[in-house]
Amino acid sequence: MANLPRVVLITGASSGFGRAIAADLATRGWEVWAASRHPQPVERCRTLTLDVCSDLSVADGVAQVLRESGRIDALVNNAGYGIAGAIEDTTAQEAWAQLDTNFIGMHRLCRAVIPGMRAARAGRIVNMSSLGGLVALPFQAFYAASKFAVEAYTEALRMELAAFGIKVSMVEPGDFATGFTASRRLTAACAQGSPYFETATRVIARAGEDEQKMRDIGPVVRAVSAALESRSPRLRYPVASAIQRLLVGLRPVLPQPWFEYLVMDNYKMR
């Protein structure tokens, strides 16, 4: 048993962070299951069709991994996307779709794999959060809300599973150049005629510019491998530019009007 490769299941592995994480872990000797709704080949990885928004798809996917690999030693919850638009311009259906993918989908996967890890009294879970889970972003409120939820959930899960030998962490990327920018969805009402349209499109464009500046996603990939392979993994692995880390660090100490000014100034809202 000791010579068998460790088995990891990664969601959202068809592109971006997920694909890079899968490729990296495969080179480290892991048996990697790269899962997504529309799987793409990843060298030295096994692919799996899995929709995190479907209870049945999650159950079937996890069952397949257990059937063919015998166990799941680690889970990386990476599946997600972003919506953008004013809160007033966001329907309940659009908000729920965002939360279902980024947060409830993560919960589905955790519930599916934890029983096996608990029985083995070992396992690793890494949830992909965001600096947007620590600082609210104008015109991306529901993306931020989904990541704020990931933060709270992961803190609680880490404490609940500690007695069973399961270690839980989260990686908090700042802005990086991945397919996330191009796949960001505008709410249907974020259009001409909305009183927010001009400001929202300017803010969203600025966010995209910031994301494209950080083209090396290697630090995020290495943070995930550290969380999976460290003897004593940390709860949080923030990965961002110095200015972004500074902004997040100032959040609890600056007066709220000052902090809001910095955020709004960065996004050209003034």
Residues recognised as catalytic: 14, 129, 143, 147
Q: How far apart are CA 162 and CA 168, in angstroms?
A: 8
Residue 95 neighbours by CB under 8 Å, 6+ apart: 83, 142
Q: Residue 40: enclosing H or E segment and its boundaries?
A: none
Q: Among the residues of the chain, which ranges form H helices?
A: 16-27, 55-69, 92-99, 105-120, 141-161, 180-183, 197-213, 218-229, 242-250, 256-266
Q: What are phi and psi of 50, to 5 degrees?
A: -155, 130
Q: What whole-number distance in Å separates Cα of residue 224 and Cα of residue 219?
A: 9
Q: Torsion over CA of 90, 92, 98 and 103, rounded to 10 degrees?
A: 140
41-75 per-residue burial string, b: 16 or more CB within 10 A, e: under 16: ebeebbbbebbbeeeebbeebbebbbeebebbbbb
Distance of alpha carbon 204 from alpha carbon 195, whole angstroms: 15
DSSP reduced 3-state for 260: helix
The 3-state DSSP class for residue 31 equals: strand
For 95, phi then psi, to 5°, come to -65, -45
Calculate the dihedral angle through the C-alpha atoms of 248, 249, 254, 260, rounding to the nearest 10 degrees.
-10
